[in-house]
Amino acid sequence: MLDPAGRRSPFPAWAGVACAVLLAACSGGAASGPPALHWYVFNEQSGSFAAAAKRCSAESGGAYRVDMVPLPTAADQQRSQLVRRLAAHDPAIDLVGMDVIWVPEFAAAGWILPWKGDDARRALRDRLPSAAATARFRGRVWAAPLTANTQLLWYRSDRVTRPPATWDQMIRMAEALGDSGTIQVQGARYEGLTVFFTSLLASAGGRILAPGDTSVALPTGPTERALGVMERLARSPAADPALSTSREDQGRLAFEAGRSSFMVNYTYVWPSARADAPEVARHMAWAPWPSVIPGRPSRVTVGGIDLGVGAFTRHPRLAFQAALCLASVKSQRTAVTRGGLPPTDSLLYDDPDVRAVFPFADLLRATLRTAVQRARTPLYTDVSLAVMDVLHPLVDIDSVADVPRLRRAVRRALRSEGLR
Amino acid sequence: MSDRGTALERLFWRATVLVVLVYAGLPLAWIVSLSLKPAADLGDGHLVPRHVTLAHYGAVFANPHFPAALRNSLGIATLATLLAVALGVLAAYAVVRLRFPGRRLFLGGALAVAMFPPVAVIGPLFDLWRRVGLYDTWAGLVLPYLSLTLPLAIWILAAAFRDLPWDLERAARVDGATRLQALRKIILPLAAPGVAAAAVLVFIFAWNDFMFALSLTSTDHARTVPAVLAFFTGASRFQQPTSAIAAASVVVTIPVVVLVLLFQRPIVAGLTAGAVKG
Amino acid sequence: MRIPREHRLGWLLCAPAVLAMAAVTAYPVLAAVRLSLYRYDLRFPDARRFVGLHNYLTVLTSAVWWKAVAATLVITLTSVSVELVLGMALALVMHRALVGRRTVRTAVLVPYAVVTVVAALAWRFAFNPTTGFVQGLGILDRPWLSVSWSAFTIIILTEIWKTTPFMALLLLAGLALVPGDALRAARVDGASRAQRFFRVTLPLMKPAILVALLFRTVDALRIFDTVFVQTRGALGTQPVSLVGYDTLLVSLNLGLGSAVSVLIFVLVTGAAVAIVRGMGGALPEASFR
């Protein structure tokens, strides 16, 4: 059962009777003991989040107990479940593990509580600046950054001697390799596509929204350059035939099968390749995400999980306390050593245990230091949909004509007029 | 043309029947096959698995969401069926046996409801349910299923009632039975095939629904199998476990196929009744 | 004035059904009409205000909406017309088969009863390059669900597979009504098999055909499950229901989403009225007498 009594109080009597008759799911009833805080977060497989929940409960000395409630595995379902229940003022949501892009939305809608004073300072202490920025919105702190994430370039060191520095170079190298030269990127119509575009655009010196995140930027030059890379890649033989349905994991599988020589992807591909395809892993190397403009370092999108406190919780004090503990360096250490989730604490990247998990720790930290935020607007979902709607499928991109289309679509989204 | 037909004709019909069987069965046979293949054979392209494993079925039931969803589906569909048949019997009886003003309007309205696009109401229903506490509850799904299947139930039951020898009821009433007693003791037993058809079709509707389940539930409290199935993922958030999805699909398909096999005759009669009797 | 007992009893017996049906249709539709006149976005709970027809203007000037209307119409028109032909063939088989009639009738009920999500998954797997068998036929050199026209093909195939049996059963009902005498008379007059079918059977089946068309068209216009499972609306396959669902329940933009809902309601009602007109208002008679 996911939650205790309470949130369904106006339950009609006849339904109650019906449920009783059919023996099923209407029970509930609060357990005794310390107040339970429900922590909604994605289903972390290694158990490191569950371990953190257990440790924090123990360290609280009986003040609270954290019960981890895994969200659905599908990414869009995680947000759906949370926002619908928060819109229904569900008091059972005490702690929320938010994808960093939800923070402005949840904050603006009043679904999470702002952090104040010492709590806010502690939540952001020693955090990588890009990770700390994900927790801020309109001058306030709304979350404690727990894990970060960003992409690197993965390539086959047995097929190319030096990693490509730019996208143009990479496409040329891949084309020269022939059948095994495929480049894996995220081209399906989903959030990964917006992330890909955001990174390309930032690397070209542009951004989707103007500073302040209330109006469209999409400057012509950089936008055309970013779209140009997508256009060129999609029409190149170096693109995967399944590009228009390709997500992170399809890319990983293709790379592990040896059919690809290049891939932009998250760090989880490294332990995965070592476990599933040791032959490939031996020749798997990493490099900075390729540049768009020669000589200008790329800027890659930052992701990760921020911990917020649900606005309708019955135990706000305890929830802030628990969130600080769950996002503490100790928890992050477990998350990275057991689950391979990159920390937001910048000092952890010097820890020998972390460097054992991430032999590329320095590159990862450097990438995160300069990482770029996705649009910081409560309407992020709509903005992202507008972007993917114009850009999908990549093979149909027209790098000149699509710039005004993109601006129009994003402008509509910002007016809350984005149909999806 | 003789009753049995010539040998050639019989051969032709045999072949035709075979074609229909392949049409109806092939996609399901494929999904059954996928659910039985070990992971390594998944891409072998054989319809008949070379090796058979039940491991995926084990995995499906080990996933905590699936048994919960199965329980929700069974409970919600059963409740909706009982209620829809009960309300449907009353209304169908009135429509067939009584003359009253508004009868045609009632039938026309029911017909309109039968053609109703669910997406036109999910927004207000979600908004209302979240405020009155029906969001993510059994009742929150039973109610829409009941409403949207009532036209079908009324339609089939009315068609079944129309064929009954009403003299029996009249005789019973003369003997002192009330309308309700006559309905229960005389009419319902006689109309049993129609009632069965209505019940099975309502059950299938509720069992199949995806949009309401997706929109009005979010957790193991009330989420039904189709909504869980559409988001079935593997261990990691990136994996799409084909075999497990296939196994889960087979499990939810079994009840409806059994119902269809058991009640083929009344279902066909029920579905065609409206048009035939017109 | 005294109300006759029979009237009161009739109303009483119908009342629960009327209430149940109205609670989930009439009331929410009216609520949707009202909401559609407001800016009402649950992400901005304080920004709620009356905006008149602005939401409709937004929807009707949106390329997304018109693309979705086009996709919905493509799916509806293709699937319903194929189903009509295929359903007629199937109905004839069920009607005339000399052997295995019961087997056929049971078999066709299977696709009808299968959960739509399962049907959509089954076809998705069948067309998947790794887990399927269709790629082996060598018709297309890339994954089917990664190209627009082939994605439409799979969606439409799934719809046809799933709903042809329903069409066939409705047509079977009409076929049973064609009097044997008329057919025998035509045969005596020297009409061929084909002539008898087109000149005698089809005209007599017109009401049944129109009923079947009505139900299937209205049903196809609401398509949601199949597309959700197979493409999630990618590659231009997004139907209007998915636009409505996403705006209402993913964006939680209830005002704008309600405008979409109302427009879908109008679209479906318009289609239904047009078909009923086409059959000369015979429908309520045909289905309920």
Query: Rounded to 5 degrees, what are φ and ψ at A372?
Result: -105, 145
Q: Using a CB–CB cutoff of 8 Å, tell me whether B137 touches chain A.
A: yes
Most confident of A200-209, A410-419, C272-281: A200-209
How many other CB atoms are there within 10 angstroms of residue B239's CB atom? 14
Position A306 pLDDT exceeds 90 = yes
| pLDDT at residue B13, as a whole number | 86
Which chain B residue lies closest to A81 (C-alpha atoms)? B218
Instruction: Please tell me the distance from the alpha carbon of residue B16 to that of residue A411, in angstroms, as a whole number.
Output: 57
Mean per-residue pLDDT of chain C: 87
Contact A88 B220 (CB under 8 A): no
Rounded Cα distance between B167 and C63, Å, is 63
Q: Give chain B's radius of gyration (CA, Å).
A: 23
Q: Decide the pairing of beta strands A136-137 and A140-141.
A: antiparallel
Query: What is the greatest pairwise CA distance in chain C?
Result: 78
pLDDT of residue B240: 55
pLDDT of residue A149: 95
* Closest Cβ opposite residue B272 in set C9, C172, C222: C172
Q: How far apart are CA A160 and CA B153, in angstroms?
A: 68
Q: Which of B133, C187, C32 is nearest to A10 (CA)?
A: B133
Q: How many CB atoms lie within 10 A of CB B104?
A: 12
Closest residue by Cα to residue C56 from C196, C197, C255: C255
Average pLDDT for C226-242: 90
Q: Chain centroid to CA B164: how far?
A: 25
Q: Which two tokens stand for residue A297?
A: 């370092």
Question: What's the CA gap between A86 and A102, in Å, rounded?
Answer: 13
Least confident of A189-203, A225-239, A279-293, B171-185: B171-185
Q: Is the pLDDT of residue A65 over 50?
A: yes
CB within 8 Å: C265 and B229 = no
DSSP secondary structure, chain C, as one string: -PPPHHHHHHHHHHHHHHHHHHHHTHHHHHHHHHHTTEE-BTTSGGG-EE-TTHHHHHHHT-HHHHHHHHHHHHHHHHHHHHHHHHHHHHHHHHHH-SS-HHHHHHHHHHHHHS-HHHHHHHHHHHHSTTT-SSGGGTS-SS-GGGSHHHHHHHHHHHHHHHHHHHHHHHHHHHHHHS-HHHHHHHHHTT--HHHIIIIIIHHHTHHHHHHHHHHHHHHHHT--HHHHHHTTTTTTT--HHHHHHIIIIIS-BHHHHHHHHHHHHHHHHHHHHHHHHHTTT-HHHHHH-
What's the pLDDT at A30?
43
Per-residue exposure over C68-91, b if at least 16 CB sit within 10 Å of its own CB, e if not: bbebbbbbbebbbebbbebbbbbb
User: CB distance B136–A11 less than 8 Å?
Assistant: no
Give the burial string for B132-155 (b: 16+ CB within 10 Å, else e): ebbbbbbbbbbbbbbbbbbbbbbb
Model confidence pLDDT, tens digit, residues A319-340:
999 999 999 999 999 999 998 9
CB contact under 8 A, A389 and C64: yes
Lowest mean pLDDT among A113-122, B5-14, C49-58, C220-229: B5-14
pLDDT attached to residue A420:
55
Give me the tens of pLDDT residue by residue for chain B, a chain 278 residues long: 445 668 888 888 888 889 999 988 888 888 898 889 887 777 777 788 888 888 889 888 888 789 999 999 999 999 999 999 999 999 999 999 888 898 889 988 888 888 888 898 999 999 999 889 899 999 999 999 999 999 999 989 998 898 888 888 888 888 888 888 888 888 888 899 999 999 999 999 999 999 999 999 988 899 999 998 887 765 444 445 788 889 999 999 999 989 988 998 888 888 776 544 43
* Fold type of domain A152-301+379-414: D-Maltodextrin-Binding Protein; domain 2 (3.40.190)
d(CA C239, CA C227): 8
Give mean pLDDT, residues C79-87. 95
Report the chain C residue with the minimal C-alpha distance to residue B87. Answer: C17
Query: What's the CA gap between A61 and A251, in Å, rounded?
Result: 46
- Answer for the pair A186, A195: CB distance below 8 angstroms, yes or no: yes
pLDDT per position as a tens digit, C96-110:
877 888 888 888 889
Phi and psi at A140, nearest 5°, equal: -125, 165
Across the interface, of B75, B135, B231, the residue whose CB is closest to A22 is: B75
CATH tag, A34-149+303-369: 3.40.190.10
**Is pLDDT above 70 for C278?**
yes
Indicate if A152-301+379-414 has the same CATH topology as A34-149+303-369. Answer: yes
User: B29-33, C156-160, C255-259: which has the minimum mean pLDDT?
Assistant: B29-33
**Range of lowest pLDDT (A228-232, A306-310, C126-130):** C126-130
What integer pLDDT is reported at residue C101 of this predicted model? 83
CA distance B123 to A90: 19
Task: Please give, rounded to a whole number of angstroms, the shortest distance from the CA of C271 to a CA of chain A.
Answer: 23
- Name the nearest CA neighbour of A111 among A40, A214, A60: A40
Q: What share of chain B is helix, strand, coil (3-state, %, to 5)?
A: 75, 0, 25
Check: CB of residue B244 under 8 Å from CB of residue B234.
Answer: yes
Q: In the predicted model, is pLDDT for residue A364 greater than 60?
A: yes
pLDDT of A14 strictly over 90: no
DSSP A305-356: EEEEEBTT-S-HHHHHHHHHHHTSHHHHHHHHHHH-PPBSBGGGGG-HHHHH
When pLDDT is averaged across residues A395-413 and rounded to a whole number, the result is 94
How does A189-205 read in b/e, with b if 16+ C-beta sit within 10 Å? bbbbbbbbbbbbbbbbe
Confirm whether the ipTM is greater than 0.95.
no
Which residue of C lies nearest to A102 if distances are taken between CA atoms?
Answer: C43
| Sign of the four-CA dihedral A377, A380, A384, A387 | negative
Shortest distance between the Cα of B136 and any Cα of chain A, in A, equals 9
CA distance C289 to chain B (A): 5
* Choice between B58 and A172, residue whose per-residue pLDDT is larger: A172
pLDDT at position C164 over 70: yes
Domain formed by C62-240+257-288, architecture: Orthogonal Bundle (1.10)
Environment class of A101 (CB within 10 Å of its CB; exposed 0-12, middle 13-18, buried 19+): buried
pLDDT, tens digit, 9 for 90 and up, residues C126-146: 888 777 777 666 676 677 777
Instruction: Report the percent of chain A where pLDDT is more than 90.
Output: 76
Helix (H) or strand (E) holding A147: strand A144-149
Q: What is the mean pLDDT of chain A?
A: 89
Looking at residue A28, what is its pLDDT? Answer: 38
Chain C residue numbers touching A389 (CB-CB < 8 A): 64
| Strand pairing category for A260-265 and A152-156 | antiparallel
Contact C147 A244 (CB under 8 A): yes
Residues of C with CB under 8 A from a CB of A: 39, 41-45, 58-59, 62, 64-65, 129, 141-143, 145-148, 232-235, 243, 246-247, 249-253, 256, 260
Mutate to test the interface with B, among C14, C18, C227, C264 (most CBs of B within 10 A): C14
* Domain definitions of chain C by residue range: 62-240+257-288
Burial class from Cβ neighbours inside 10 Å (0-12, 13-18, 19+) for residue A279 reads exposed
Predicted confidence at residue B200, as pLDDT, reads: 94
CA nearest neighbour of B36 among B236, B251, B230, B194: B251
- What is d(CA C103, CA B260) in angstroms, rounded to the nearest whole number? 12
Please name each of the domains of chain B with its CATH number.
Answer: 1-53 (no CATH), 60-277 (1.10.3720.10)
pLDDT at A8 over 70: no
pLDDT digits (tens, 9 = 90+) for C175-218: 888 888 888 888 888 888 888 888 888 888 888 898 889 989 99
Residue A17 above 60 pLDDT? no
User: Where are chain A's structural domains?
Assistant: 34-149+303-369, 152-301+379-414
3-state SS assignment for residue A185: coil
